[in-house]
Amino acid sequence: MTTMNTRTRHKTLAAWLAVLGGPLGWHRLYLHGWTDALGWAHAIPTALGLWGVQRVLDYGQDDKLSWVLLPLLGLALVVAALSAIVMGLQPAERWNARHNPTLPPDHPAGHTGWLTVLAMVLALMVGATALMASLAFSFQRYFEYQVEQGLLLSQ
């Protein structure tokens, strides 16, 4: 069900919302409204990932539940960063056709300016860092667990 909304949605603001609050779904709530289920669902892996961070701080790196939870935060950051990059790279005509259908295709709301490019650069930096950190943590803990299990079997 789609409703016609006359509110103008700006690409630059959407990209910055994805960078700053993307793991909480701010960009989707801005673009699709407060009833967007996917926008609200962004907070679930973010909250679980933050719980994983808290468990690492409380119980140390040997907490096996944090091994599962912590990469969810990285995934949430990566998805938000990718959303910012995809939004920023959309041509103005496509942006306005999708998010501002009542406006002309060349309306400035869909233009890519320096602030949009800056949001994409920051999103790329944050997303790449989160992805590499999540992969490194996950693989390190997995292989350490395998070594521990191998030592237990050899005794």
Q: Is residue 6 one of the residues assigned to a domain? A: no
Q: Is residue 98 one of the residues assigned to a domain? A: yes
Q: Is residue 3 one of the residues assigned to a domain? A: no
Q: Is residue 5 one of the residues assigned to a domain? A: no
For residue 154, count other CB atoms closer than 10 A to its CB.
Answer: 6
pLDDT class for 1, splitting at 50, 70, 90? very low
Sequence letter at residue 22: G
Give the number of domains in the chain.
1
CA of 131: how far to CAs of 3, 21, 124, in Å? Answer: 36, 17, 10
Question: Distance between CA 31 and CA 27 in Å, rounded?
Answer: 6
| pTM of the predicted protein model | 0.83
Mean pLDDT of 32-52: 92
Tokens encoding 126: 């944050």
Q: Is residue 4 one of the residues assigned to a domain? A: no
Write out the residue range of the structural domain in which residue 127 sits. Answer: 11-150
- Pick the more confident residue, 26 or 62: 26
Q: Is residue 2 one of the residues assigned to a domain? A: no
